[in-house]
Amino acid sequence: MKAIKVEAVTKTYRQNKALASVTFEIHKGAVAALVGENGAGKSTLLHILAGLVRPDSGVTEVSGSAPTQDWKWLSRIGFVDQDASLQGGMTLNRYSKMGKDLNTPWNEDLLLARCDQLKIPSGRPIKQLSGGQRHVVAVLLALAKEPEVMLLDEPLASLDPISRRTLLGILLSQAYDKSTTILLSSHLVSDLERSCDYLVLLSGGSVVLSKPTDEILGTHYWITNSDKNLELIRQMCDAETDYMIELDSQILLSTTNHEIVNLTGAKPAGLEEIVIARMSSSPIFTKQAQTER
Amino acid sequence: MAKGKLNYSIDRSTGVPPFLQIVEQVKDSLHTGRLEIGDHLPSVSEVVKMTAVNANTVMKAYRELEYAGIAQPIQGVGTVVTSLPMGANPQLLEIYQSRFEALITQARQDGLDWEPLQHLTGNIIREMKLMEGAGESDKGRSGYKDL
């Protein structure tokens, strides 16, 4: 079952094309990462999915319906913006009481236990907390209403490495225990490699890659850039499904052909390297490479 | 070694897939006797919370252990160790641990550095395994070599 569907979504701000026909789907219960350079359209996309921005065209479906302002739908969605602003004078305890009055369900016990785990004083006014702590509080509050879909814009950016790991652990266990679908944007690809089971890579307003993390890791290889290897790629790769990115001394090849992997002595590529290569240059498809040479 | 709850540590820089790191750490604990038959493995939920590794990764590791006949999921109980990995012998390993320790201490005292020492032991094991024609028998089902 799909928890998030995005089909041919476009959005232009005045002259600026923020999203140029974006299409992808996320399974229920998946922990998906939205990755891309600054200005790639990640925040615009998350705002559209949260029902805060209307797309120019295209279809979106989150938790079974198009984003609306209807409270029934809103109660199933959790959204934390990049700069989530909380009222500074209120304590977390008061926020939790307010949350309890406004939401069903509201898991107060879990909320307070998690604050403890992250060493956040729940009796102190929010404004006395650090920027990172304030952001964590916002995410924990959103989790307390046990939404079906959590949309998070850069939830890890302002956190130290330990809090980052702890918050990721909290997000992942909620995804596992409650089948919550999580879509989070982040630049910290090394953290995502172990945590996210799906990756959507945006570049210049378009989806460059949208696949399960395991599948991406299992099909991307580094190969030494030599005439012999290029010849092998030309002969053996499938132009329809395989692609390569030619860098100075290395080639990033995406293929499911294990024979060529063995013949060229290819080494598996890490997620961060794949993301950087795919963001900075467009792939040469092997069919193209064949005709060019 | 203190017997206690198993804590997996996933290191991303090794290039070994996270699920295999869990499998290896369970096997390692069984080899050294830190984990015994009948012991519980940490639940998927616990591991996810502690290590921030995706639940699918942990489930994949536990399936692999089940497939290898080492652990079994038991309804309402969790994943339980049912047998030791091939060739495991914690008692014998303990005896040889002190023997090797004595030998390595001696080599250090004689002035041998850690790095050549590490290469040496690695090489001896690799070469002897080749000569015995081993390596074939204990190759992982998942196709990853050199573990």
What is the distance between the alpha carbons of residues A196 and A183, in angstroms, rounded to a whole number? 9
* Angstrom distance (rounded) from CA B116 to CA B123: 10
Supply the pLDDT for residue B137.
Answer: 52
Could you tell me the pTM of the whole model?
A: 0.82
Mean residue pLDDT of chain A comes to 90
Contacts 24+ apart (CB under 8 A), B85-92: B85/B27, B85/B30, B85/B31, B86/B138, B87/B138, B88/B30, B88/B31, B90/B30, B90/B31, B90/B32, B90/B33, B91/B33
Whether B7 contacts chain A with CB within 8 A: no
Higher pLDDT, B93 or A179: A179
Give the residue from B11, B48, B142 with the most A CB atoms within 10 Å of its CB, the best one to mutate.
B48
- Indicate the range of A65-69, A94-98, A103-107, B136-140 predicted with least confidence: B136-140
Average pLDDT over residues A99-108: 90
Closest CA to A201 of A272, A151, A257: A272
Q: pLDDT (tens digit, 9 = 90+) per residue, B76-93?
A: 888 999 998 888 888 888
Answer whether B53 sits within 8 Å of A194, measured CB to CB. yes
Sort out which chain A residues have CB atoms less than 8 A from B56's CB and list them: 197, 214
What pLDDT does residue A249 have?
A: 86
Residue B139 above 60 pLDDT?
no
Sequence-separated (6 or more) residues with CB below 8 Å from residue A51: A62, A67, A68, A69, A73, A74, A77
Compute the nearest-CA separation of A173 from chain B (Å).
6
Residue A235 has pLDDT above 90, yes or no: no
The verdict on a CB contact (< 8 Å) between A217 and B17 is yes
Residue A289 pLDDT > 90, yes or no? no
Is the confidence at residue A80, as pLDDT, over 80?
Answer: yes
The chain A residues in contact with chain B (CB within 8 A) are: 31, 165-166, 168-170, 172-173, 175-177, 190-191, 193-197, 213-214, 217, 268, 270
pLDDT at A239: 77
Q: Which residues of B touch A214 (CB under 8 A)?
A: 56
**From CA B111, how far away is CA B116, in angstroms rounded?**
11
Q: State the pLDDT at residue B146.
A: 44
Q: Which whole number is the average pLDDT over A72-78? A: 93
CA distance A195 to chain B (A): 5
Say whether pLDDT at A157 is over 70.
yes
Q: CB distance from B49 to chain A under 8 Å?
A: yes
**Closest by Cβ to A194, choosing from B15, B49, B54:** B54
Rounded Cα distance between A107 and A178, Å, is 12
**Confidence at residue B87, expressed as pLDDT on a 0 to 100 scale:** 83
CB A202 within 8 A of CB A40: yes
Residue A216's pLDDT band (cuts 50, 70, 90): very high
| pLDDT value of position B141 | 43
Inter-chain contacts counted by CB atoms under 8 A, chains A and B: 49
Report in angstroms the alpha-carbon separations of A205 from A6, A25, A40, A151, A290: 13, 16, 5, 18, 29
* Residue A211, pLDDT above cutoff 80: yes
Q: Which residues of A touch B50 (CB under 8 A)?
A: 169
Tell me the chain B residues in contact with residue A172 when contact means C-beta distances shorter than 8 Å.
48-49, 52-55
Cβ within 8 Å of A, B 83-102 = none
Band of pLDDT at residue A281, cut at 50, 70 and 90: confident
Q: Picking from A49-53, A256-260, A264-268, B141-145, which range would have the lowest pLDDT averaged per residue?
A: B141-145
Q: What is the pLDDT of residue A199?
A: 96
Contact A195 B15 (CB under 8 A): no
In the predicted model, is pLDDT for residue B145 greater than 50? no
The nearest alpha carbon in chain B to A167 belongs to: B52
pLDDT in tens, A23-33: 999 999 999 99
pLDDT exceeds 70 at position B135: no
Q: Residue A288: its pLDDT value, please?
A: 59
B1 has pLDDT over 60: no
Judge: B49–A168 Cβ closer than 8 Å, yes or no: no
Task: Check pLDDT > 90 for residue B143.
Answer: no
pLDDT band at B140 (very low <50, low <70, confident <90, very high): very low
Whether residue B147 is predicted with pLDDT greater than 70 in this model: the reply is no
Query: A285 or A139: which carries more pLDDT confidence?
Result: A139
Q: What is the ipTM of this complex?
A: 0.76
3-state DSSP assignment of residue A28:
coil
Short-list A199, A179, A173, A204, CA closest to A188: A199
Q: What is the pLDDT of residue A93?
A: 92
Whether residue A122 has pLDDT greater than 70: yes
**What mean pLDDT comes out for the span B69-76?**
91
As a whole number of angstroms, the distance between CA A45 and CA A226 comes to 40
pLDDT for residue A67: 95
Q: Report CB contact under 8 Å: A194, B10.
A: yes
Residue A229 pLDDT > 80:
yes
Q: Region A177-181: what's the mean pLDDT?
A: 94
Question: How high does pLDDT run on average in chain B?
Answer: 85
Q: Which of B12, B50, B57 sits opposite A190 (nearest CB)?
A: B12
pLDDT of residue A285: 74
